[in-house]
Structure 1
Amino acid sequence: MIKVDARGLDCPQPVIKTKDALSEGEKVETLVDNETACKNLQKLGKKMDCEVDVLEVDDDFQLTFIPEEGVVTSSTTSEELNDNGDEEGKVYFISSDVLGDGEKELGEILIKGFTYTLTEIAPRPKAIVFMNDGVKLPTLNDEVIENLKILEEAGVEIISCGTCLDYYDLKDELAVGEVSNMYTIVETLNNNPVVTF
């Protein structure tokens, strides 16, 4: 049995670590410290055709994943993650340095989790376009920058608006991706399915 201690880890790491462990084809026991993570892991188990037993231990939740006999619970391979294939990927248009309209601190946590999750799923986006406050992410946010570097190495275009970088005096701070212009940005958005944040 593979044991995963996911206590204290931010979303989506408990799910990703458990999913990776399940790819070994063995029983997995995951320990988490909050009910939300427990529920997310139960959904993962259902999606991956596993029986999931939940036991409350002190203030923690212990989940045991038992793969259904004959069902392969494989994780996405690195080749699948790195290959967008012939299918046109989505373009993510990010115009803020936080995710959502609520509390700024929560939005900062969410945008880090979002960019991290993009490194762990398939298919990957075709491009990520940063505009307005969004350009602060590939320039000032170290955790997001690391995630974006992983995506760029996998072939995802990381595009930042040059006018926005100039406005915030951040052009020299760009740590990943390329500086672009409005024509190229509009063309990229016009020719691909777009998800806006």
Structure 2
Amino acid sequence: MSKIVILNSSRFGQGNPRLGEKLMNDFFESLANMESLPDAILFYNSAVNLACVEPGILNPLKSIEKRGCRLMISASSLDFYNLNKDLKAGSIASMEEMTEIMMNAESVIKP
């Protein structure tokens, strides 16, 4: 893997929660329209909600995934938030798998 994105929250930044949610939505819409995609996006902590229950983000996520970007969703985070049955995009990954991807990446982006 050469380029990965790591998300640990369902919103961007520490400011206003509604603005953070809008910015996250804008990020995925923009990413879905880019010619070049990261090799993988890793979701952990509350970011797992994006692949489960955030309807505005599911369409761009599915589009990104169809184009070959691997969406890795933390198994531990899904368990913690009781979202195992709600996963709508991506695949469940262990922290060991996610750590291996991070350690082998040439570029790690944490927005």
TM-score bucket of the superposed structures, by smaller chain? over 0.9
TM-score (normalised: structure 2): 0.95
Mind listing any 5+ residue stretches in structure 2 that lack a counterpart?
none
The answer to whether the 8 Å contact 1:91/1:189 transfers is yes
Aligned length in residues:
110
- Percent of paired sites with the same residue: 28
What CA deviation, in whole Å up to 9, does each residue of 1:30-82 have, x standing for no partner?
A: xxxxxxxxxxxxxxxxxxxxxxxxxxxxxxxxxxxxxxxxxxxxxxxxxxxxx
Structure 1 residue ranges without an equivalent (≥5): 1-87
1:154 aligns with 2:62: no
| Alignment of 1:107 onto 2:20 | yes
Deviation string 1:122-161 (CA, Å, 9 cap, x unpaired) is 3111000000011010001011111110001000000100
Q: How does 1:66-81 map to 2 (within 5 A)?
A: none
**Structure 1 runs of 4+ with >6 Å offset:** none
Q: Match of 1:196?
A: 110
Larger relative contact order, structure 1 or 2 (CA cutoff 8 Å, min sep 6): 2
More helix by percentage: 2
Select 2:93's aligned residue among 172, 180, 184: 180
Larger radius of gyration: 1
Q: Is the 8 A contact 2:6 2:43 kept in 1?
A: yes
- Relative to total residues, which structure has the larger strand share, 1 or 2? 1
The CA RMSD over aligned residues, in Å, is 0.9
What's the CA shift for 1:121?
1.1
